[in-house]
Amino acid sequence: MKKIQLILTLLLFSNLVQANNLNISAPTYSNETLSFTITWDNSWNINSGPSNHDAVWIFVKRQKCGNINNRWVHQLLSTSTNDHSAKVSGVTSTIVSVIPVEDGMGVFIKRLPDASSSNPPNAVGNVTTQTITLKLGATNPNILPTGNDTQDNFKVIGIEMVYIPQGEFFIGDGRATNSNNFSAGTTNQPLKITNNIQNVTGLGSLTNYTSAPAYGCPVPLPKDFPLGYNGYYMMKYELLQGQFVEYLNTLNYDQQALRLKPTDNTKNPNSAPTVYFANGQGTNVYIPTTTPSSSGIYNTKAATFATGYAWLPMGYMNWQDLAAYLDWSGLRPMTEFEFEKACRGNNGGTANTPIANEYPWGNTSISNPSHSFNNNHTWTANEGTCNYQTNNIIRAGAWATSTSNRSQSGATYYGIMEMGGNVWEQCVGGGSGYDYSGFRTTNGNGVLSDLGLADVTGWPINGGPNSGTIMRGGFFYNNGSTYQIQVSDRTFFAGDNWNNNSDRDAGAGGRGVRSFN
């Protein structure tokens, strides 16, 4: 077995200006440390306006040499800052810092402020080659105790994130017709989420934040529920096909087979694992993974998946698919309150009254692109550019250029891409009788059940109607229903029939967040 396995390298795309090429080299292992290089473009750390920064969430998967059934496990990292380092070309000078987290599930690598710049010390630009050395933490008990450590395989995986800072913001937008969006009780006014609501009293009864009993949680939401006031990181892009393939390739055969067996009645339910990929033309691509022996019996060797569209958002995900990926990566689902804050922001530190019927890019303009998902197209960025009626998924960050503004690139206040259109965002929330008040900021633990499912206490188990999940932000074929793309629209407050766990729709995707615990 080769000593170190090649790491995932994806082309991802920037939320601020243009293509944001995240590259992570193959790691080298020595004395319980891993060293690798990282680069990405168009990074930022600013202390004005949104006052936030981007970062890369780094986590490690480990496979013992000689293990069976593709058993990759989550490798914990040291929780001490002094155990990790960042250098440039072998010297100590660096423009990034390594930030460990308390549960050891990974680290954040973020750009440092530029102390030489004018006040405030903002930093914007490419992150050139940085050499990162991480100290491994306690040995995960799920790692098989066979083989020599120096012969283990490692995957170092990176996900681009954006920091959403602590602060007040509004839920609801004060639209004249107050049907299913958040509001200050039965009025049509937006409701401000404050420190007192988040950290002292909680949001309380649904009559405090909706206009009708069906539109909220039947049990009062406590202060421990993620209402969005406290800071958190959010994935810059929707989950991409290349990232989902990397996840699939660390599952064992049983998990692959149980999670991906076809639901189409025309297909043999006992066949090899199959995954659905939207290829931009509204069709499904079925990728067979193993073949039967001469006796007709399938083997149990884990499959290897691939996609030709690593830069396209992942569709065909039910709730269990998304939750499993987030648990596996040490992230968690976002709530619909966090969705609204990430879109709307606080407009420079003060929770200004939102614009009625606004889209995630901060105004009421919306325009559809003229091209499909093809990466080679020359894109034209108009005001309110959004992929909502092409019948195609479009690559992440397609309209962000060196000259496009927030509205033209479709970015949120904090610089997150495609929170409207492309694929639906699956969030914790909704209404119609389901109690989701027990959801907390608990992040994923990196370990899935034998069924390939998330196993975090308090996360919704199922999707679909009355599940504690809600669809937000619209998808690539909303057509005339552009209101569903608006920040405050809660049309699917009761969940949605076509995204229950027995089905997967092309327009269903999602992304995750991470809290500080």
Reading the block at residue 169, the tokens are 């913001």
Give the model's pLDDT for residue 3: 31
Confidence band (pLDDT; 50, 70, 90) for 272? Answer: very low
Average pLDDT for 471-493: 90
Q: Given this model, what pLDDT does residue 142 score?
A: 57
Q: Band of the pLDDT at 213, cuts 50, 70, 90?
A: low
Q: Are 325 and 247 in contact (CB under 8 A)?
A: yes
| Distance (Å, whole) CA 165 – CA 415 | 12
Residue (of 350, 369, 489, 477) closest to 427 by Cα position? 489
Could you give the CA distance from residue 431 to residue 419 in angstroms, rounded to a whole number?
21
**Lowest mean pLDDT segment, chosen from 255-269, 314-328, 392-406:** 255-269
pLDDT at 305: 76
Collapsing DSSP to helix, strand or coil, 86 comes out as: strand
What pLDDT, on the 0 to 100 scale, is given for residue 69? 60
Across all residues in the chain, what is the average pLDDT? 82
- Burial of 477 (C-beta count, 10 Å sphere; 0-12/13-18/19+): middle
Rounded Cα gap, residues 273 and 227, in angstroms? 38
Residue 12 has pLDDT above 50, yes or no: no
Model pLDDT, residue 428? 96
- Across the range 163-178, mean pLDDT stands at 89
Query: Is residue 111's pLDDT more than 70?
Result: yes
pLDDT of residue 277: 54
Specify the DSSP element, H or E, that contains 408: helix 406-409
One-letter-per-residue 3-state SS of 365-433: CCECCCCCCCCCCCCCCCCCECCCECCCCCCCCCCCCCCCCHHHHCECCCCCECCCCCCEEEEECCCCC
Q: Angle at Cα 346 formed by Cα 345 and Cα 352, nearest 5°?
A: 125
Q: Is the pLDDT reported for residue 423 higher than 70?
A: yes
Predicted confidence (pLDDT) at residue 16 exceeds the cutoff of 80: no
If one compares 347 and 275, the residue with the highest pLDDT of the two is: 347
Is the confidence at residue 378, as pLDDT, over 80?
no
Separation CA 166–CA 515 (nearest Å):
11
DSSP string, 217-274: -SS-B-TTS--S-S-EEEESSPPBHHHHHHHHTTS-HHHHHHHH----TTS-TTS---
What pTM was estimated for this model as a whole? 0.89
Predicted confidence band of residue 349 (pLDDT cuts 50, 70, 90): low
pLDDT band per the 50, 70, 90 thresholds, residue 117: low
Please tell me the predicted confidence (pLDDT) of residue 140: 61
β strands within 101-166, DSSP E:
107-111, 123-135, 153-164
Q: Please compute the mean of the pLDDT values over residues 291-317 and round it to a whole number.
A: 68
Taking only the tens place, the pLDDT of each residue in 68-78 is 566 899 999 99
Q: What is the pLDDT of residues 146-159, one digit of tens each?
A: 455 668 899 999 99
Percent of the chain topping pLDDT 70? 79
Is residue 200 within 8 A of residue 223, CB to CB? The reply is yes
Specify the higher pLDDT residue, 402 or 332. 332
Question: What would the mean pLDDT of 236-247 be, rounded to a whole number?
Answer: 92
The answer to whether residues 223 and 162 touch, using CB atoms and an 8 Å cutoff, is no
- What is the pLDDT confidence band of residue 376, given thresholds at 50, 70 and 90? low
pLDDT at 340 over 80: yes
Strand partners, 154: 62
pLDDT score, position 270: 43
At residue 168, does pLDDT exceed 80? yes
User: What mean pLDDT do residues 210-230 have?
Assistant: 90
Rounded (10°) CA dihedral 121, 127, 130, 136 = 80
Grouping H, G, I as helix, E, B as strand and the rest as coil, residue 279 is coil
Listed range (33-37, 177-181, 293-297, 470-474) with the worst mean pLDDT: 293-297
d(CA 423, CA 314): 8
CA 224 to chain centre: 22
* pLDDT above 90 (res 25): yes
Residue type present at position 38: I
Who's near 265: CB < 8 A, 6+ residues apart?
none
Q: Give the pair of three-digit tokens for residue 331.
A: 């992230």
Q: What is the mean pLDDT of residues 270-278?
A: 49
Residue 151 in 3-state DSSP? helix
For residue 406, what is the enclosing H or E element?
A: helix 406-409
CB neighbour burial string for 157-168, b if at least 16 within 10 angstroms, e if fewer: bbbbbbbbbebb
* Position 13 pLDDT exceeds 50: no
> For position 262, what pLDDT does the model report?
47
Domain spans in the chain, listed from the N-terminal domain onward: 12-162, 165-517
Question: Poorest-confidence range of 213-217, 415-419, 433-437, 472-476?
Answer: 213-217
Structure tokens at 27: 């790691």
Using the predicted structure, report yes or no on whether residue 357 has a pLDDT greater than 90: yes
pLDDT in tens, 86-100: 998 767 778 899 999
CA distances from 111 to 41, 79, 400 (A): 11, 19, 20
Q: Which residue has the tokens 């402020």?
A: 113
345 CB contacts (<8 Å, ≥6 apart)?
A: 50, 169, 412, 413, 414
pLDDT confidence of residue 300? 63
Average pLDDT score over residue span 265-284 = 42
209 falls in which pLDDT band (50, 70, 90)? very high
- Which of 412, 108, 447 lies closest to 252 in space, CA to CA? 447
User: How does DSSP assign 298-349, residue by residue?
Assistant: ---PPP----S-TTSBP-S--HHHHHHHHHHTT-BPPBHHHHHHHHH--TTT
Q: What DSSP character marks residue 16?
A: S
Closest among 161, 169, 162 to 229, alpha carbons compared:
169
pLDDT of residue 6: 24
**In this model, does residue 510 exceed pLDDT 90?**
yes
* Of 80-94, 282-296, 433-447, minimum mean pLDDT range: 282-296
DSSP, res 104: -
The answer on pLDDT for 394 being more than 50 is yes
| Cα–Cα distance list, 166 to 53, 194, 230, 511 (Å) | 13, 10, 4, 20
Is residue 238 within 8 Å of residue 334, measured between CB atoms?
no
Q: In the structure, what pLDDT confidence band is assigned to residue 434 with cuts at 50, 70 and 90?
A: confident
User: What DSSP designation does 442 have?
Assistant: P
Count CB atoms within 10 A of the CB of residue 118.
7
Q: What is the mean pLDDT of the segment spanning 246-263?
A: 77
